[in-house]
Amino acid sequence: MLPLDPQADIGRRAWVDCPNCDDWRGCAACEQGRTCTTHWRYLLSNTGSLLHLQCPSCTHIWSHETWFGATRSDG
């Protein structure tokens, strides 16, 4: 299991399903699409609409494209 990234800050969170674990299954708030006090992800950084996240449950790190708001330019 990876350690938490040094950029992990509880003040920067996102509510996105982790592609590595199903920790949110069985949680009424998560299954209804509401923000949950338990099943959030660390928002390590972002580049426009691309989020870089880490799951506090399994420490998996991944990127998630929201396609919302500002998008990245390819150069």
Residue by residue, DSSP assigns 18-58 as -SS--TTTT-HHHHTT---SSS-EEEEEEETTEEEEE-TTT
pLDDT of the residue at 41: 95
Check residue 70 and give its pLDDT: 60
Looking at residue 68, what is its pLDDT?
Answer: 82
Cα-Cα-Cα-Cα dihedral sign, residues 6, 7, 8, 9: positive
Arithmetic mean of pLDDT, 56-73: 85
Q: What pLDDT sits at residue 74?
A: 60
Give the model confidence (pLDDT) of 25-48 as tens digits: 999 999 998 999 999 999 999 998
What mean pLDDT is predicted for residues 44-56? 94
How large a percentage of the chain has pLDDT more than 90?
65
In the predicted structure, residue 60 carries a pLDDT above the cut 90: yes
